Amino acid sequence: MSINCIRTLIEDANISHPQKVALVYGNEKLTYGELFTKVNQIALYLSELDLPKGSRIGIYSNKGIDQVIAILATLSTNYVLVPLTKFLKPEQVEYIISDCDIKCIITDRVKIESIEEIKFNGKIISYETTNKDLPSFEEIYKYYNKPYVCNINGHDNAIITYSFGLGGQPKGIVISHRNLIDSARVVSSYLQLKEDDVISGLLYFNLDYGLNQIFCSLYKRATLALHRFVLPTDFFNHLINDKVSVISLMPINITEMFDEEEYKLPNPSLLENIRIIASSGGNVTAKMIKDIEKYFVKAKFYSMHGLTEAFRSTYLDPSQLKIRPDSIGKAIPDVELYVIDENGNECPPRVVGELIHRGGYIYKGYWNAPKETKERFKSIQILKNVINLEGQLTDEIVVQTGDYVYKDEEGYFYFVSRHDDMIKTRGYRVNPYEIESVVKRELKDIEKCAVFSIENEEIEEEIVLVYSAKSELSSSEILFELKKHLASYMIPSKIIYKKSLPLVPSDKNKINKEELKKELISK
């Protein structure tokens, strides 16, 4: 058995902490000993399906203790886990099933009808016993009691995750068992997680960030308290009743958390047990920080930046939050980050370039997508102008992130835009973020704005600014302010007012620029 796999953590926790509570969900509790038993039962059943090694197992269900068991059981076999968030539409599930050839789906009573709608031909396992003659966890727990032994290799494929974003069909990113254990190890280290922590299982288990909640809990023998965010009141009750001490969330969760009348929010003294709050997946605003500090008076707040192709790149130490709130921080342990220009030279401080991720936590690549893999996963030769490649050792792989950032004089990084967002106009490259930041700073009546481009044969691309506000502003007023702070080639040629801006379905923190662009082009 490899020491670099989640299965090792499950076995070790059963030996060292069999009576410790591993999982909590409402009134349900499971100790590490009970978790080990149930994981083994499901893993034994899965192994007896006798599917080829590396076969993909989909998990398509609501959050719950059985879902965690299904995840850990799959990772205790030589199969590959494919998480399918409950928010996916049947056609999206069908796409993933086809793309990675899922052989078996583990689901709940609610999602069985969705699976039947797409006419899935593989094996189906339900958590609950149903009238559809399907095998269920309830039955497996009754009858599968033989010892289970497995041997996992750290370099083998463990998980394929898919994220539906703005355009085109998603590509699955392949994550190894070693990647999972490394991510649990590093997060447990820089967040200083403890054995007596209760970690909130707020995030969904469809991507690496959410799954990491499970793996960090196992790594530290902590307790994972599951929660489905419906109402802010429910969430605060979860924090108080489950005695949560660590929360990993996204900025949208912070917004939702405080989307209540102030008199409905709990007294800060009831939240003093929270010692760590970590956020990733979007920008953290000044209001979010203010709300966190007001209600979580003893919590340290960590802002983090991750990649699709590597687990995580940076985190901002809580001591720097007020000093440089716009920074994404510095590299996490075992990672080196470089900012390079189009010629492969390192950018000086304050000059925008592309972020290159070197070192740990790099995933294996995109599933059945050699072109996309080649675009992102590069030979270290890309850094030949920056580092000394003695001995011609150039087989090392780095990630060319597609993120445009800059670094300040003290080595802190600042996100500017994605490569796909860059605008080419009149022979210049323009970062939409530069225009958006001026709007945010100088035009206080504008609530939200999005800058993007549409094709224009005469100047390559035409810059468009769409904004929302309580009422429409004069375009001449906006242009007057922008011209004071931006070069002439950066001034938008179209300024459009909308009462509200569409958001990305998978990330309510981001404005859906593709939808805005389609609206504009179709007019």
Instruction: Assess whether 221 and 76 both reside in one domain.
Output: yes
**Minimal CA–CA distance to 511: which of 464, 442, 445, 443?**
464
Instruction: Assess whether 198 and 49 both reside in one domain.
Output: yes
Instruction: Assess whether 189 and 336 both reside in one domain.
Output: no
Q: What pLDDT does 506 receive?
A: 58
Q: What share of the chain is helix, strand, coil (3-state, %, to 5)?
A: 35, 25, 40
Which tokens sit at 277? 């709050």
In a domain, residue 296? The reply is: no
In a domain, residue 406? The reply is: yes
pTM of the model: 0.85
Instruction: Assess whether 156 and 63 both reside in one domain.
Output: yes
* Domain termination residue (choose one: 385, 418, 451): 418
- E strand or H helix at 118, and its extent? none
In a domain, residue 313? The reply is: no
CATH number for 180: 3.40.50.12780
Instruction: Assess whether 33 and 128 both reside in one domain.
Output: yes
**H helices of 144-225, where?**
177-190, 208-220
In a domain, residue 277? The reply is: no
Instruction: Assess whether 407 and 481 both reside in one domain.
Output: no
Q: What pLDDT does 167 receive?
A: 47
In a domain, residue 92? The reply is: yes
Per-residue DSSP letters for 299-344? -EEEEEE--SSBS--EEE-GGGTTTSTT--BEEPTTEEEEEE-TTS
DSSP strand pairing (314-316 vs 330-331): antiparallel
Instruction: Assess whether 382 and 455 both reside in one domain.
Output: no
If you ran DSSP here, which 8-state letter would residue 356 be given?
E
In a domain, residue 270? The reply is: no
Give the domain extent around 400: 326-418
Instruction: Assess whether 474 and 336 both reside in one domain.
Output: no
* Domain termination residue (choose one: 370, 394, 418): 418
Q: What pLDDT does 75 receive?
A: 98
Tell me the residue ranges of DSSP E strands in 13-168: 21-25, 28-31, 56-60, 80-84, 102-107, 123-126, 157-161
Instruction: Assess whether 137 and 78 both reside in one domain.
Output: yes
Q: What pLDDT does 508 receive?
A: 64
In a domain, residue 28? The reply is: yes
Q: What are phi and psi of 338, to 5 degrees?
A: -130, 145
Instruction: Assess whether 61 and 113 both reside in one domain.
Output: yes
Instruction: Assess whether 411 and 330 both reside in one domain.
Output: yes
Please say whether the beta carbons of 85 and 204 come within 8 A: yes
Please say whether the beta carbons of 301 and 289 come within 8 A: yes
In a domain, residue 282? The reply is: no
pLDDT tens, the chain, 523 aa long: 789 999 999 999 999 999 999 999 999 999 999 999 999 999 999 999 999 999 999 999 999 999 999 999 999 999 999 999 887 878 889 999 999 999 999 999 988 888 888 889 999 999 999 877 899 999 999 999 999 999 999 999 999 999 865 445 789 999 999 999 999 999 999 999 999 999 999 999 999 999 999 999 999 999 999 999 888 899 999 999 999 999 999 888 898 899 888 888 999 999 999 999 999 977 788 888 999 999 999 999 999 998 889 999 999 999 999 899 889 999 999 999 999 999 999 999 999 899 999 999 999 999 999 999 999 999 999 999 999 988 877 889 999 999 989 999 999 999 887 776 778 787 666 878 879 988 988 999 999 999 999 988 777 789 999 999 999 999 999 999 999 988 788 899 999 999 999 987 756 667 898 899 989 888 7
Q: What pLDDT does 521 receive?
A: 87
* Domain termination residue (choose one: 228, 251, 279): 228
Total domain count, the chain:
3
CATH number for 370: 2.30.38.10
CATH number for 511: 3.30.300.30
Instruction: Assess whether 405 and 445 both reside in one domain.
Output: no
* Contacts (Cβ under 8 Å, ≥6 apart) of 356: 337, 338, 339, 340, 378, 382, 383, 398, 399, 400, 401
